[in-house]
Amino acid sequence: MTKLAVSRRSRTITTEEVLIILCHSVNEVLSNAGNAGVDYSPMVQKINKTCLRPDIGCFVLFDGGFSGLVIINFTAESAMEIYRSYLLSMGMPENELAQFHTADEVGNVMGEIMNQIVGDFTNKIRQQLKTSITQSQPKMMAINKQVQISVNTTLDQPQSRRVTFNTAQNNIFYLELSMDKTEFIKLHDFDEDELIENPDDILAENYRQEDTNRDNEQTSSNQHDDLMSDLGI
């Protein structure tokens, strides 16, 4: 009699695992933007609603394999620390930096960082969960009162979470995630470590290829000149 193999219990990935992926994206992007030392609390809060809060906040909608909303609320101190560290790491003179979190330049830079965070998050979701989500353009604004934000679509049993982050200088900001109550169940093993194309790597490879082509052209030209010289032409 043929015996049926007992399969391993399928691994289930829930909202908390998706939140961890997002937290990793926040840490990695900020670290690459000159803000090493940012860390998040091991405790996560279950919340009933997502809000933009003072002093400066940003939100991004995403849709696709699942729908949701990401919000990051910065205090003025944490926003200025991240903004300054980012631009100083890029070689910007300190005397050219904005002095207040309400400056348009601060909002633009923080919006750019938010866009990188969510872009990294969508790549990780594609890699680790084998599903695709698309993001809206980040909306960053300086506010002095709480503003409730909801997803412009009907979520299936929405779940909301909040995580506290601390910067290297012990300033605080908060990450909020609201998404469908969704479970991803792994049916079979797959490679989660496959490389994701990095735009910087692609540009660097293009530059290397251009340099190689120029070197080859120069070598070919020199050989041609030597041959013409040998022939007395």
Q: How far apart are CA 56 and CA 155, in angstroms?
A: 26
Closest Cα partner for 17 from 182, 146, 158, 133? Answer: 182
Is there a contact between 109 and 86 (Cβ–Cβ < 8 Å)? yes
Q: What is the CA radius of gyration of the chain?
A: 24
3-class state of residue 4 by DSSP: coil
pLDDT at residue 3, rounded to an integer: 43
For the stretch 144-172, pLDDT in tens is 888 887 665 566 788 999 999 999 999 99
pLDDT at residue 231, rounded to an integer: 47
Average pLDDT over residues 197-213: 53
225 pLDDT more than 50: yes
For the chain, which residues make up each domain, given as ranges?
12-195, 197-233
Percent of the chain at pLDDT above 70? Answer: 74
Is there a contact between 61 and 151 (Cβ–Cβ < 8 Å)? yes
117 pLDDT more than 70: yes
| Residues facing residue 163 across a β-bridge | 175
Token pair of 68 as six digits: 């949701």
Residue 20, Cβ density class (10 Å: 0-12 exposed, 13-18 middle, ≥19 buried):
middle
Residue 213, Cβ density class (10 Å: 0-12 exposed, 13-18 middle, ≥19 buried):
exposed
110 pLDDT more than 90: yes
Confidence of residue 12 (pLDDT cuts 50, 70, 90): confident
pLDDT at residue 187, rounded to an integer: 82
For the stretch 50-93, pLDDT in tens is 999 999 999 999 989 888 999 999 999 999 999 999 999 999 99
DSSP state of 163: E
pLDDT at residue 222, rounded to an integer: 59
Average pLDDT over the chain, rounded to whole?
A: 82
Pick from 113-117, 183-187, 211-215: least confident: 211-215
200 pLDDT more than 60: no
119 pLDDT more than 90: yes
DSSP state of 117: H
Pick from 1-5, 20-24, 44-48, 228-232: least confident: 1-5
Pick from 90-104, 129-143, 150-164, 192-206: least confident: 192-206
pLDDT at residue 86, rounded to an integer: 96
pLDDT at residue 11, rounded to an integer: 78
* Fold that domain 12-195 belongs to in CATH: Chemotaxis protein chec (3.40.1550)
